[in-house]
């Protein structure tokens, strides 16, 4: 085997990964020198627009895509150094689910879940029992003998999840697994992934183009653009303090602030000087009392034009757009006071913070 296993909390380490695809004109640099470490038990999101390089990067994790340069380390072992038999074993520990489910139409639900175990050491009856257990876990035991064509999208994805768990993986990669599903089904599939993570201790790497998906279940997130990771961190942190414009765009779209800003910002009175303030409350900060305190102490009328509370990685995060009616100087003092209370606050129709 030639390699010593290193004991580590990191299940995946990508070091200086680049992927170039040769094309007729010039090579497409799909992934550029990415370093990424994912800890055991994490739910790690990778977000980016189409073409950012997300799928290519996650396919590198199980070497479905060979990187042009860099090291892929899984549980302390560099995968590129493994012999084919060992690589096959390691790959079994990385399950994958996809946007279009990739089920086999000619096999029953049970047959699909049993499939990865065919040819293994497990007996036929144990294999069946295991597959039925997994179907129970995903809530589909009663459909074991149905065929994929007779299932809804959400049910198909549940079968795909059961199948991906057949080999007892340590990591489950979800490549846009909810992108073809409606919002309600998306929620239920994300909940199931969360249960898989919590009950079975499986690390999840989830790629998506929707920040809402990230905020529901991920603990950490990396933002990809043009083959690079441009920002990363704890989800609540990235959500409330995005450093890059692209990240801010994803967040604002997810919480509907973008639409609200456009709608409100287009109104004439706000382009003519009425004061608009954007507020972002994190955790337990009580927005009600703060707003009334500010209004009282600074003699400002505060009209709330938009408000939304979201759960991000289990924390309440509130967003508000409000009109402050009063002197700009006083409004700025009020904003400074709110910042002291840990609120992110800024004037949005003036250059002043
Ligand atoms: N086999 C390939 N040959 C040539 N170029 C490729 C190949 N696979 C991907 N690309 C290119 O690499 C870039 C990254 O693609 P990738 O599929 O990883 O992006 P993505 O972020 O997953 O987007 P999507 O969600 O649309 O799949 C794109 O410019 C794509 O056209």
Q: Kindly write down the DSSP assignment for every residue of 182-230, as one continuous string.
A: -HHHHHHHHHHHHHHHHHH--EEEEEES-HHHHHHH-SEEEEEETTEEE
Residue 65: CB partners within 8 Å, gap ≥ 6? Answer: 19, 56, 59
Substitution site in 56, 99, 177, 180 for ligand 1 pocket (most atoms within 8 Å of beta carbon): 56
Alpha carbons 334 and 11: distance in angstroms, whole number: 47
β-sheet bridge partners, residue 137 = none
pLDDT band at 285 (very low <50, low <70, confident <90, very high): low
**What average pLDDT does range 231-250 have in this prediction?**
91
Give, using CA atoms, the residue closest to atom 28 of ligand 1: 51
Alpha carbons 62 and 78: distance in angstroms, whole number: 11
Alpha carbons 330 and 324: distance in angstroms, whole number: 10
199 alpha carbon – ligand 1 mean position (Å): 33
Which listed CATH number (3.30.70.260, 3.40.109.10, 3.30.200.20, 3.90.1330.10) goes with 255-347?
3.30.70.260
Give, using CA atoms, the residue closest to atom 8 of ligand 1: 56
Spatial CA neighbour of 172 closest among 142, 120, 145, 137: 137
pLDDT band at 4 (very low <50, low <70, confident <90, very high): low
207 alpha carbon – ligand 1 mean position (Å): 13
Give, using CA atoms, the residue closest to atom 14 of ligand 1: 53
Residue 351 has pLDDT above 80, yes or no: no
Residue 66: CB partners within 8 Å, gap ≥ 6? Answer: 60, 80
What tens digit of pLDDT does each residue of 304-334 get?
888 888 888 777 888 888 888 888 888 889 9
**What average pLDDT does range 56-83 have in this prediction?**
96
Per-residue pLDDT, 279: 87
Answer for the pair 215, 239: CB distance below 8 angstroms, yes or no. Answer: yes
Range with lowest mean pLDDT among 55-64, 200-209, 230-239, 244-253: 244-253
Per-residue pLDDT, 256: 77
Alpha carbons 295 and 299: distance in angstroms, whole number: 5
Answer for the pair 96, 164: CB distance below 8 angstroms, yes or no. Answer: yes
263 alpha carbon – ligand 1 mean position (Å): 35
Alpha carbons 150 and 172: distance in angstroms, whole number: 26
98 alpha carbon – ligand 1 mean position (Å): 15
Neighbours of 222 (CB within 10 A): 25
Substitution site in 26, 30, 96 for ligand 1 pocket (most atoms within 8 Å of beta carbon): 30
Per-residue pLDDT, 1: 45
Residue 272 has pLDDT above 90, yes or no: no
What are the structure tokens assigned to 64, written together?
């479905």
82 alpha carbon – ligand 1 mean position (Å): 27
Substitution site in 14, 25, 55 for ligand 1 pocket (most atoms within 8 Å of beta carbon): 55
Pocket (CB within 6 angstroms of ligand 1) = 21, 23, 28, 30, 48, 50-56
23 alpha carbon – ligand 1 mean position (Å): 12
Domain limits of the chain?
255-347
Residue 270 has pLDDT above 70, yes or no: no
**What average pLDDT does range 219-239 have in this prediction?**
95
53 alpha carbon – ligand 1 mean position (Å): 6
pTM: 0.86
62 alpha carbon – ligand 1 mean position (Å): 17
**What average pLDDT does range 24-53 have in this prediction?**
95
β-sheet bridge partners, residue 19 = 31
H or E element, residue 333: helix 328-340
Give, using CA atoms, the residue closest to atom 11 of ligand 1: 30
Model ipTM over 0.90 = yes
DSSP assigned state of 70: E
What are the structure tokens assigned to 22, written together?
């040769």
In the chain, DSSP assigns E strands to: 10-21, 28-39, 43-47, 69-74, 77-78, 94-98, 171-175, 203-208, 220-225, 228-234, 275-282, 301-312, 315-325, 344-347
Alpha carbons 65 and 61: distance in angstroms, whole number: 8
Give, using CA atoms, the residue closest to atom 7 of ligand 1: 21
Residue 161 has pLDDT above 90, yes or no: yes
Answer for the pair 313, 237: CB distance below 8 angstroms, yes or no. Answer: no
What is the pLDDT of the chain when averaged over all its residues? Answer: 90
Give, using CA atoms, the residue closest to atom 12 of ligand 1: 30
55 alpha carbon – ligand 1 mean position (Å): 7
Spatial CA neighbour of 16 closest among 35, 38, 2, 41: 35
Give, using CA atoms, the residue closest to atom 31 of ligand 1: 51
What are the structure tokens assigned to 332, written together?
């700025």
């Amino acid at each position: 085997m030639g390699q010593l296993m290193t004991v580590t909390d990191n299940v995946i380490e990508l070091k200086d990964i680049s992927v170039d695809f040769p094309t007729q004109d010039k090579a497409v640099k799909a992934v550029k020198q990415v370093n990424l470490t994912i800890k055991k038990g994490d739910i790690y999101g990778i977000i980016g627009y189409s073409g950012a390089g997300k799928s290519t990067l996650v396919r590198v994790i199980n070497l479905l895509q060979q990187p042009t340069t860099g090291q892929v380390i899984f549980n302390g072992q560099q995968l590129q150094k493994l012999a084919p038999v060992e690589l096959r074993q390691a790959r079994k520990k990385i399950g994958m689910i996809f946007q279009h489910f990739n089920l086999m139409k000619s096999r029953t639900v049970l047959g699909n879940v049993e499939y990865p175990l065919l040819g293994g050491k497990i007996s036929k009856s144990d294999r069946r029992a295991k597959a039925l257990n997994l179907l129970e876990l995903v809530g589909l035991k009663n459909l074991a003998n149905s065929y994929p064509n007779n299932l809804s999208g959400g049910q198909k994805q549940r079968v795909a999840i059961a199948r991906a768990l057949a080999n007892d993986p340590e990591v489950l990669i979800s490549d846009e697994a909810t992108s073809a599903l409606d919002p309600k089904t998306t929620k239920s599939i994300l909940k199931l992934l969360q249960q898989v993570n919590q009950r079975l201790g499986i690390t999840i790497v989830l790629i998506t183009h929707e920040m809402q998906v990230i905020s529901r279940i991920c603990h950490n997130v990396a933002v990809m653009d043009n083959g690079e990771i441009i920002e990363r961190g704890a989800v609540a942190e990235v959500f409330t303090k995005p450093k890059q414009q692209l990240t801010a765009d994803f967040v604002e779209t997810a919480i509907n602030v973008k639409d609200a800003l456009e709608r409100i910002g287009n109104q004439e009175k706000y382009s003519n000087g009425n004061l608009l303030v954007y507020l972002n409350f994190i955790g337990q900060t009580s927005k009600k009392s703060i707003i009334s305190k500010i209004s009282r102490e600074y003699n400002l009328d505060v009209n709330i034009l938009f408000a939304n509370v979201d759960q991000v990685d289990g924390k309440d995060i509130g967003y508000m757009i409000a009109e402050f009616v009063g002197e700009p100087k006083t409004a700025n003092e009020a904003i400074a006071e709110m910042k002291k209370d840990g609120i992110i606050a800024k004037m949005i129709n003036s250059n002043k913070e």
